[in-house]
């Protein structure tokens, strides 16, 4: 290696800012793992992002059941202007309330089926039950 006099002298010198910055950049690049060339989705929490294990693709259907305080399926995909049927199988009151107020919501009902006509504009439309806050779903119009 180096002669002992140079080695001890080099250890006592302060490091230059450039050296510190370069060292930090190399450490950051190593921690990030580089580009990797992956085409994986960057927002796996978005409904409709197919192929993401944490968020399944919406089911192509126009029928949703309300049972055990849940919408089933939770996320659906329909054509523009489609009519979606919500069937309450619980026997007690639920609502189907869309966050987008231009879509007609369904007031409280305990049994039977109610229909909602979806917009013609593509997009994801969230809905929920006003009585049971944990009941949520989305309709992807595509």
Residue 94's domain is classified under what CATH number?
2.60.40.420
Give the model confidence (pLDDT) of 15-24 as tens digits. 555 555 545 5
How large a percentage of the chain has pLDDT more than 90?
Answer: 57
Query: What is the number of structural domains in the chain?
Result: 1
Q: First vs last Cα of the chain: how many Å apart?
A: 67
Residue 52 domain flag: no
Residue 6 domain flag: no
- Residue 41: per-residue pLDDT: 32
pLDDT-flagged residues of the chain (< 50) = 8-10, 13, 22, 25-51
Residue 119 domain flag: yes
Residue 8 domain flag: no
Cβ neighbours for 106, distance < 8 A, ≥ 6 positions apart? 86, 95, 96, 97, 114, 116
How large a percentage of the chain has pLDDT more than 70?
Answer: 61
Residue 133 domain flag: yes
Domain that holds residue 63: 59-141
């Amino acid at each position: 290696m180096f002669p002992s006099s140079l080695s001890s002298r080099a250890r006592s010198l302060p490091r230059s800012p450039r050296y510190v910055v370069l060292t930090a950049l190399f450490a950051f690049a190593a921690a990030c793992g580089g580009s990797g060339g992956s085409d994986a989705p960057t927002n796996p929490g978005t409904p409709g992002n197919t192929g993401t294990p944490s968020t399944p693709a919406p089911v192509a259907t126009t029928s949703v059941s309300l049972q055990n305080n849940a919408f089933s399926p939770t996320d659906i995909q329909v054509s523009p202007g489609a009519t979606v049927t919500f069937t309450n199988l619980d026997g007690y009151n639920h609502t189907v309330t869309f966050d987008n107020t231009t879509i007609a919501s369904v007031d409280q009902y305990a049994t039977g089926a109610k229909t909602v006509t979806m917009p013609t504009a593509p997009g994801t439309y969230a809905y929920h039950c006003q009585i049971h806050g944990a009941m949520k779903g989305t309709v992807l119009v595509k």
